[in-house]
């Protein structure tokens, strides 16, 4: 599932290409992806796209009449920016053509992504999952972060990936962040001290900022469409059995509910 660095890279790639472009054609081969109705998509014709923002794991495309096209690519949603005649990808779900001859295409192997077209920011809360969405983690300062986390008594990985506490961190980056902070993913919030929360905040910032730079560079070089997420730079996530880059111990992997958690038992002791 794409997380903040992936979505920021997609946003940085698309914004200079889309901003100021007028929609000329629309097509929804998988109409139910557009939850507010596929006929909505057609009403974008003749309108200009503006800025693109990100909120948690959603991308928000602003339209010149104030409307906002919102996309949550979920597990396998993938964007493509290609010339209109380019070969079509599998599971093509949505196509928006622009006046420069390019198409913004969206494919989704598992067809779990969600699109919404709303009248303006006042309708954001009508979008499922946004209603209870916490503040975007990148907008929090250290004190705000610590204040939110101090209330969380449960397992720390579950807390930092809970989109109602704050939005944007998922399974992959939570592993990287907890490893960087030296905190076991299953440590309970109740056992952590204020200095642990502060160290965790610094890890959130350093891991995400560094990764945004790395993924941005990759996407600027390769373009979109090959992947929906970029993971090569990760140090522990999906590296079970490999040596920890910090201490050399073997990285552990535990799978629960279909998602894997990776950590180093030496650098991230469960009890202190």
Interface with Zn ion (CB under 5 A): 244, 246-247, 249, 264, 266-267
Residue 220 or 254 with smaller CB distance to Zn ion: 254
Residue 212 or 244 with smaller CB distance to Zn ion: 244
Q: What is the DSSP track for 217-260?
A: HHHHHH-SSS-S---TT-SSTT-TTSBPTTT-PBEEEEEETTEE
DSSP state of 68: E
Residue 45 or 249 with smaller CB distance to Zn ion: 249
DSSP state of 103: E
Residue 198 or 246 with smaller CB distance to Zn ion: 246
Taking the CA atoms of 77, 82, 87 and 93 in sequence, report the sign of the dihedral they define.
positive
Classified as helix, coil or strand, 119 is: coil
Nearest distance in Å: CB 190, Zn ion: 24
Tokens 């038992």 locate to 265
Q: CB under 8 Å to 43, separation ≥6 — which residues?
A: 117
Nearest distance in Å: CB 239, Zn ion: 11
**98 CA to centre of own chain:** 25
Nearest distance in Å: CB 189, Zn ion: 22
Q: What DSSP element (H or E) covers 63?
A: strand 58-63
Compute the distance between CA of residue 247 and CA of residue 140 in angstroms, rounded to an integer. Answer: 31
Nearest distance in Å: CB 264, Zn ion: 3
Compute the distance between CA of residue 65 and CA of residue 95 in angstroms, rounded to an integer. Answer: 20
Residue 96 or 264 with smaller CB distance to Zn ion: 264
**94 CA to centre of own chain:** 19
Nearest distance in Å: CB 267, Zn ion: 3
Nearest distance in Å: CB 122, Zn ion: 48
Residue 108 or 196 with smaller CB distance to Zn ion: 196
Compute the distance between CA of residue 204 and CA of residue 245 in angstroms, rounded to an integer. Answer: 18
Classified as helix, coil or strand, 263 is: strand
Residue 130 or 156 with smaller CB distance to Zn ion: 156
Nearest distance in Å: CB 179, Zn ion: 8
């Amino acid at each position: 599932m794409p997380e903040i660095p992936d979505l920021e890279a997609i946003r940085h790639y698309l914004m200079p290409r889309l901003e100021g472009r007028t929609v000329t054609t629309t097509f929804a081969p998988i109409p139910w992806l557009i939850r507010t109705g596929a006929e909505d998509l057609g009403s974008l014709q003749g309108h200009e796209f503006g800025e693109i923002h990100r909120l948690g794991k959603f991308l928000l495309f602003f339209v010149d009449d104030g409307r906002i096209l919102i996309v949550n690519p979920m597990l396998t949603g993938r964007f493509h920016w290609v010339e209109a005649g380019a070969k079509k990808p599998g599971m093509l779900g949505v196509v928006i053509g622009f006046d420069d001859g390019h198409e913004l295409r969206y494919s989704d192997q598992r067809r779990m992504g969600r699109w919404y077209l709303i009248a303006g920011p006042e309708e954001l809360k009508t979008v499922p999952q946004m209603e209870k969405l916490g503040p975007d983690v990148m907008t929090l300062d250290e004190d705000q972060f610590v204040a939110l986390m101090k209330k969380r008594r449960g397992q720390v990985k579950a807390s930092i990936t809970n989109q109602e506490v704050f939005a944007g961190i998922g399974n992959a980056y939570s592993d990287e962040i907890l490893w960087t902070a030296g905190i076991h993913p299953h440590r309970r919030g109740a056992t952590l001290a204020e200095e642990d929360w502060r160290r965790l905040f610094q890890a959130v910032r350093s891991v995400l900022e560094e990764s945004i730079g790395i993924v941005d560079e990759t996407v600027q070089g390769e373009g979109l469409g090959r992947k929906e997420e970029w993971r090569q730079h990760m140090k522990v996530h999906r590296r079970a059995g490999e040596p920890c880059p910090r201490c050399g111990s073997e990285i552990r992997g535990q799978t629960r509910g279909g998602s894997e958690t990776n950590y180093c038992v030496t650098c991230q002791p469960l009890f202190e």
